[in-house]
Amino acid sequence: MADAAASADKSIQVKLVLLGEAAVGKSSVVLRFVSNEFQANKEPTIGAAFLTQKCRLEDRVLRYEIWDTAGQERFHSLAPMYYRNAQAAVVVYDVTKAASLDKAKSWVKELQRQANPHIVIALAGNKVDLVNNAAASSSSTTEETSEDEPDDATATPAELAQAASGDGLRAVARDEAQAYATEAGLLFFETSAKTGEGIVELFTEIAKKIPIEHILASTRGGGANRPGGAASGSNAQGNVNLDANNQTPKNACNC
């Protein structure tokens, strides 16, 4: 614990919030980043879950304090509580559901209107494994669409069946999302929490874009501005891998 406390002191705290429609895989993206794991049939998030993960960037260590918000509509009004004071946001959509991009766009609008003006926003088109599989193999293997949260209203059995069938999977063209992201000034990645594709890159690029000097300056300014505060203490999450560099090379977050 002493080690954890000591290294926490040196790292730069970055509050990051995940937003997006229900069942697009927000919690799975976080779980992949934090624990390098993937869980099929993850239960829906209630309110928001809190996790931490470190990310090395050149000679600096960023410590992400991640608020993984619930996608269910009934929790929508709680979102400001989580994106307030956040330095970064990941807005997630599902590449196989066109409507989820619309929802992502509305989150981006809300963030740009109401969040910290320096917030770094990344758009992530998740579940790209479903699309890749369809392209790579024409066989209709019963691919588990396990990122879908079972209780979600948006993931109808019909959609799941369609996804599993490998037909017409991609509902959002990469170019279309990329064009939108560029126009709106967002980072953009297609990701797969299931295979890990794009996940580390996503968080690494965010780390690069975070105005670290700005955070450090505001921290020195006093404790009222929480970002970057030298929180000590052990990790709240037992399964958090404190050192991303100890993971497989593919997942190393050392840019």
Which residues contribute to the site for another protein (CB under 8 A)? Answer: 1, 5, 9, 15, 43, 45-52, 65, 67, 70, 72-78, 81-82, 84-85, 223-224, 226, 229-238
Q: Rank residues 170 and 229 by Cβ distance to another protein and give the closer one.
A: 229
Residue 237 per-residue DSSP state = -
Least distance (Å) between residue 226 CB and another protein: 6
In this structure, is the dihedral angle defined by the CA atoms of residues 145, 153, 123 and 206, taken in order, positive or negative? negative
Contact 229, 223 (CB under 8 A): yes
Least distance (Å) between residue 74 CB and another protein: 5
Q: Rank residues 65 and 148 by Cβ distance to another protein and give the closer one.
A: 65
Q: Rank residues 21 and 129 by Cβ distance to another protein and give the closer one.
A: 21
Least distance (Å) between residue 218 CB and another protein: 13
Q: Rank residues 5 and 173 by Cβ distance to another protein and give the closer one.
A: 5
Chain centroid to CA 94: 12
What are the beta bridge partners of residue 51? Answer: 66
User: Degrees (nearest 5) of the Cα angle 96, 99, 102?
Assistant: 120
Q: Rank residues 9 and 176 by Cβ distance to another protein and give the closer one.
A: 9
Residues for the chain: how many in total?
255
| CB-count exposure of residue 220 (10 Å: 0-12, 13-18, 19+) | exposed
Least distance (Å) between residue 203 CB and another protein: 18
Least distance (Å) between residue 23 CB and another protein: 15
Residue 25 backbone class (left: φ over 0; alpha: ψ -120 to 50; beta: rest): left
Chain centroid to CA 78: 18
Q: Rank residues 51 and 181 by Cβ distance to another protein and give the closer one.
A: 51
Least distance (Å) between residue 190 CB and another protein: 29
Q: Rank residues 47 and 255 by Cβ distance to another protein and give the closer one.
A: 47
Residue with tokens 């979600």: 152
CA dihedral angle for residue 30, residue 124, residue 157, residue 28, rounded to 10 degrees: -10
Least distance (Å) between residue 80 CB and another protein: 9
Of 101, 99, 91, the residue nearest 123 (C-alpha): 91
Gap between the Cα atoms of 123 and 101, Å rounded: 9
